[in-house]
Amino acid sequence: MRTTAYHEGSVAVQKRLGVQHAAAHIAPSIRPGIRPVAAAFLEAQPMLVLAAAAPDGHVWATLLTGTPGFARATGPHTVSVAATPLPGDPLAGALTAGTPVGTLALDPRTRRRMRLNGTARPSVRGLLIEAEQVFANCPKYLQKRELYGSGPADPDAPPVRRGDALTEAQLAAVRAADTFFVATVGPDGADASHRGGNPGFVRAEGPRELVWRDYPGNAMFLTLGNLETDDRAGLLFLDWENGTTLQLSGRAETVYRSDERFVRFRVDSVVETPAASPLRWSAPEYSPANPTTP
Closest by Cα among 74, 88, 4 to 34: 74
**What's the confidence (pLDDT) of residue 156?**
75
Closest by Cα among 175, 174, 179 to 144: 179
**Do 34 and 134 form a contact (C-beta atoms < 8 A)?**
yes
Domain 8-152+160-281 has CATH 2.30.110.10: yes
- 84-88, long-range: CB < 8 A, 24+ apart: 84/122, 84/126, 84/127, 85/50, 86/273, 86/276, 88/160, 88/271, 88/273
**What's the confidence (pLDDT) of residue 55?**
95
**What's the confidence (pLDDT) of residue 3?**
53
Closest by Cα among 275, 257, 255 to 210: 255
- At residue 2, does pLDDT exceed 70? no
If pLDDT is split at 50, 70 and 90, which confidence band does 150 have? Answer: confident
- What is the tens place of the pLDDT at every residue in 38-70? 999 999 999 999 999 999 999 999 999 999 999
Domain spans, the chain = 8-152+160-281
**What's the confidence (pLDDT) of residue 1?**
40
DSSP state of 285: B
- What is the tens place of the pLDDT at every residue in 120-130? 999 999 999 99
Q: What is the pTM of this model?
A: 0.96
Q: Which residues in 19-58 are b (16+ Cβ under 10 Å) and which e?
A: beeebeeeeeebbeebeeebbebbebbbbbbbbbbbeeeb
Distance of CA 163 to the CA centre of its chain: 21
Q: d(Cα 73, Cα 64) in Å, to the nearest integer?
A: 16
Largest CA distance in the chain: 55
Q: d(Cα 123, Cα 190) in Å, to the nearest integer?
A: 20
**What's the confidence (pLDDT) of residue 157?**
78
DSSP state of 7: -
Of all residues in the chain, the percent with pLDDT exceeding 90 is 89
**What's the confidence (pLDDT) of residue 158?**
85
- At residue 151, does pLDDT exceed 80? no
